[in-house]
């Protein structure tokens, strides 16, 4: 058992007004609050959460951490995040079971090999660790994998980021929450935002919640899955669609899988948690949904491929499946920054890949809120890019992304 702190975050009673209100106590919202306090000395902050802390996508993701994205803008924010991860347990004095066991992206066809090499080379020149392994080297790194040519889509190689890995998602949320709370941030659970208080020139001057109105100089929306719901309360339209993303765990088994394995071609991504469960993710369901569940065939379709890739998994038993609600954006990249409505900021659109960005997303939003304008990390992710055409298309690198 890992050691827990003496006390987790305070259950605060909301005050009438704060400097900053953050909507959403998920990983990104809590990280934002923490970095506002820690980096900028802004502690008059309230995080409002409609449910239980960290109970959205933060509670139900497959915890993959990596920074091997293609474009310079993505490299900047995801690698900043990974560097923060590397010091996070020490900075927050909290055991998060952070394990840099390596993330392996498998390649099954020549086209994917080409785009993988493009990614590896871009990573290396951006100072991100990346290497290409041929099929034999993949087998040496991950011995339980089947790299035989006698399957439908044989493994022909893969890219490896050794510094990638996993962490225990709940602990991450609780770490940010506890330390932010100690720095003076108020965290208010079971307070659902139902609207915005507006002032002159349409500025947002606070939030209306199920626990009363809270005024604020700045309000930041950090509620993945419900970004459009909140935005529409402010009359803001987003290019976001909410889709189910499912995942599943197995019963507990002795350690067999030593790294994270992802395969876009056969739609498998899997790791094994410390406790022994195999954690497997599925692709996005096709349709818009807020139900936190999806269709079973999405999980079923990947199972044959998973068992071909890891024959011993045939004997594993699926124990539990669930779903989250992810913000799907047109270029598989987030939206961070001011909204054009005075006083209102947004951080959304992380799709299937938000967990790994938790520290840097909070960092970038915090500095953006503190400066009152998009910071260098956030600027490329402005909502305006959809008008100018300056999209940051990470569909390749994000893939089934996690």
Partner 1 sequence: MLRIPCPWCGPREEIEFRYGGQAHLAYPDNPGSLSDAEWADFLFMRDNPKGVWAERWMHNAGCRRWFNVVRSTVDHRISASYPMGAARPPEGDA
Partner 2 sequence: MGSRRMEAGGSGVDREAPLHFTFDGVAYIGLAGDTLASALLGNGVDVVCASPILGRPRGVVSAGVEEAGAFVEVSEPWLDPIVPATAVELVDGMVAVGRPGVGVLPDDAAGASAADHRHLHVETLVVGGGISGLRAAREATGRVLLVDERHWLGGTSPASTAIDAQIAELMGREDTTLMTRATAAGIYDDGYVLVYERSEPIARLWHVRAARVVLATGAHERPIAFADNDRPGVMLASAARIYAERFGVLPGERAVVFSNGPSGLESALALHEAGVVIAAVLDVGPPSRSRVDRLRAAGVDVRTGWAASGTIGDPRLEAVHAVGPGGETEMFEADLLAVAGGWNPAVQLWRGINGGLRYDEATACFLPEGAGPPWLEITGAATGEGIDPVEPYWYTPAEDLSHHYVDLQRDSTVADVLAATGRRLRSTEHVKRETYIGTAIDQGRTSGVLTAAIVNGALGAGPGAQGPTNARPPYTPVPYSVLAGLDRGPRLLDPVRTTPIHSWHVARGAPFENVGQWKRPWYFPAAGEDLNAAVHRECLAVRTGVGIMDASTLGKIAIVGPDASVFLDRLYANRMSTLAVGSIRYGLMLGLDGMVFDDGVVMRLADDRFLVTTTTGGAARVLDHMEEWLQTEWTDLRAYCTSVTEQWSTIAMNGPRARDVLTALGTSFPVDATSFPFMTWRGGEVAGTPVRVARVSFSGELAYEINVPGWYGLSMWEAVMAAGAAHGITPYGTESMHVLRAEKGFVIVGQDTDGTVTPRDLGMSWIVRKDDSDFIGKRSLQRSYIVRPDRKQLVGLLPVEPDQLLPEGAQLVEHDTGVIPMSMVGHVTSSYTSPILGRTFALAMVDAGRARHGQTLYAPLPGGTIAVEVTAPVFYDPEGARRDG
Interface ranges with partner 1 (CB under 8 A) = 226-229, 232, 237-242, 286-291, 295-297, 330, 386-389
CB 398 within 8 A of CB 332: yes
Query: Site map for partner 2, 141-180, x if CB under 8 A?
Result: ---x-----xxxx----------------x----------
| From the list partner 2, partner 1, none, partner contacted by residue 201 (C-beta under 5 to 8 A by kind) | none
Least Cβ distance, residue 334 to partner 2 (angstroms): 18
| From the list partner 2, partner 1, none, partner contacted by residue 41 (C-beta under 5 to 8 A by kind) | none
Mark the segment that binds partner 2 (CB under 8 A) among 32-40, 207-215, 309-317, 369-377: 309-317
Query: What is the DSSP annotation of 179-201?
Result: HHHHTT-EEE-S--EEEEEE-GG
Instruction: Count the Cβ atoms, other than its own, within 10 Å of residue 208.
Output: 15
* 241 sits near partner 2 (criterion: CB under 8 A): no
Phi, psi of 286 (to 5 degrees): -75, -25
CB 261 within 8 A of CB 268: yes
DSSP state of 256: -
Site residues (CB under 8 A) for partner 2, limited to 187-206: 189
* 9 sits near partner 2 (criterion: CB under 8 A): yes
Instruction: Count the Cβ atoms, other than its own, within 10 Å of residue 119.
Output: 21
* 62 sits near partner 2 (criterion: CB under 8 A): no
Nearer to partner 1, 229 or 251 (CB): 229
Task: Please identify which residue in 252, 286, 371, 376 interacts with partner 2, judged by CB under 8 A.
Answer: 252
Three-state secondary-structure class, residue 261: strand
Mark the segment that binds partner 2 (CB under 8 A) among 13-21, 82-90, 111-119, 356-364: 111-119
Tell me how far apart the alpha carbons of residues 228 and 209 are, in angstroms, rounded to a whole number.
17
Least Cβ distance, residue 396 to partner 2 (angstroms): 7
CB 171 within 8 A of CB 96: yes
| From the list partner 1, partner 2, none, partner contacted by residue 396 (C-beta under 5 to 8 A by kind) | partner 2
| From the list partner 2, partner 1, none, partner contacted by residue 6 (C-beta under 5 to 8 A by kind) | partner 2
Least Cβ distance, residue 296 to partner 1 (angstroms): 6
Residue with tokens 């994205």: 69
Least Cβ distance, residue 226 to partner 1 (angstroms): 7
Task: Please identify which residue in 5, 184, 202, 239 interacts with partner 2, judged by CB under 8 A.
Answer: 5
CB 165 within 8 A of CB 157: no
Least Cβ distance, residue 150 to partner 1 (angstroms): 28
| From the list partner 1, partner 2, none, partner contacted by residue 290 (C-beta under 5 to 8 A by kind) | partner 1
Three-state secondary-structure class, residue 35: helix
Nearer to partner 2, 111 or 195 (CB): 111
Least Cβ distance, residue 350 to partner 1 (angstroms): 15
Nearer to partner 1, 81 or 227 (CB): 227
Task: Please identify which residue in 39, 72, 210, 288 interacts with partner 2, judged by CB under 8 A.
Answer: 72
Crossing angle between the packed helical segments 358-371 and 169-182, to the nearest 10 degrees: 30
- Checking 109-118 for CB contacts under 8 A at 24+ apart, the result is 109/153, 109/156, 109/265, 110/156, 112/264, 112/265, 113/156, 113/157, 115/396, 116/157, 116/158, 116/159, 118/70
Three-state secondary-structure class, residue 84: helix
* 231 sits near partner 2 (criterion: CB under 8 A): no
Site residues (CB under 8 A) for partner 2, limited to 19-58: 52-53, 55
Tell me how far apart the alpha carbons of residues 145 and 37 are, in angstroms, rounded to a whole number.
45
């Amino acid at each position: 058992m890992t050691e827990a702190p003496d006390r987790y975050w305070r259950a605060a009673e909301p005050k009438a007004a704060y400097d900053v209100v953050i909507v959403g106590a998920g990983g990104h919202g809590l990280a934002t609050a923490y970095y506002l306090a820690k980096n900028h000395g802004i502690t008059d902050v309230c995080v409002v959460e409609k449910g239980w802390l960290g109970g959205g996508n933060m509670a139900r993701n497959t915890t993959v951490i990596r920074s091997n994205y293609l474009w310079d803008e993505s490299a900047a924010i995801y690698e900043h995040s990974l560097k923060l991860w590397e010091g996070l347990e020490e900075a927050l004095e909290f055991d998060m079971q952070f394990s840099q066991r390596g993330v392996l992206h498998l390649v099954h066809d020549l086209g994917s090999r080409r785009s993988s090499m493009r990614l590896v080379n871009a990573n290396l020149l951006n100072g991100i660790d990346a290497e290409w392994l041929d099929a034999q080297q993949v087998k040496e790194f991950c011995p339980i994998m089947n790299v035989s040519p006698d399957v439908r889509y044989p493994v022909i190689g893969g890219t490896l980021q050794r510094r990638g890995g996993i962490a225990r998602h709940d602990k991450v949320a609780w770490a940010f929450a506890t330390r932010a709370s100690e720095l003076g941030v108020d965290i208010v659970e079971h307070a659902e935002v139902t609207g915005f208080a507006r002032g002159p020139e349409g500025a947002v001057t606070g939030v209306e919640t199920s626990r009363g109105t809270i005024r604020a100089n700045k309000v930041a929306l950090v509620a993945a899955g419900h970004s459009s719901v909140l935005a529409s309360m402010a009359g803001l339209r987003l290019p976001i669609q909410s889709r189910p993303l499912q995942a599943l765990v197995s019963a507990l088994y002795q350690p067999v899988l030593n790294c994270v394995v992802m395969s876009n071609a056969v739609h498998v991504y899997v790791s094994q948690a410390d406790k022994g469960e195999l954690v497997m993710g599925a692709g996005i369901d096709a349709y818009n949904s807020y139900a936190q569940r999806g269709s079973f065939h999405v999980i079923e379709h990947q199972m044959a491929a998973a068992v071909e890739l890891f024959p011993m998994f045939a004997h594993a038993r699926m124990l539990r499946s669930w779903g989250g609600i992810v913000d799907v954006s047109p270029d598989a990249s987030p939206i961070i920054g001011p909204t054009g409505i005075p006083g209102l900021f947004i951080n959304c659109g992380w799709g299937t890949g938000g967990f790994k960005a938790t520290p840097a997303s909070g960092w970038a939003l915090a500095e953006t809120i503190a400066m009152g304008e998009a910071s260098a990390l956030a600027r490329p992710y402005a909502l305006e890019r959809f008008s100018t055409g300056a999209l940051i298309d990470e569909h390749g690198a994000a893939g089934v992304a996690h």
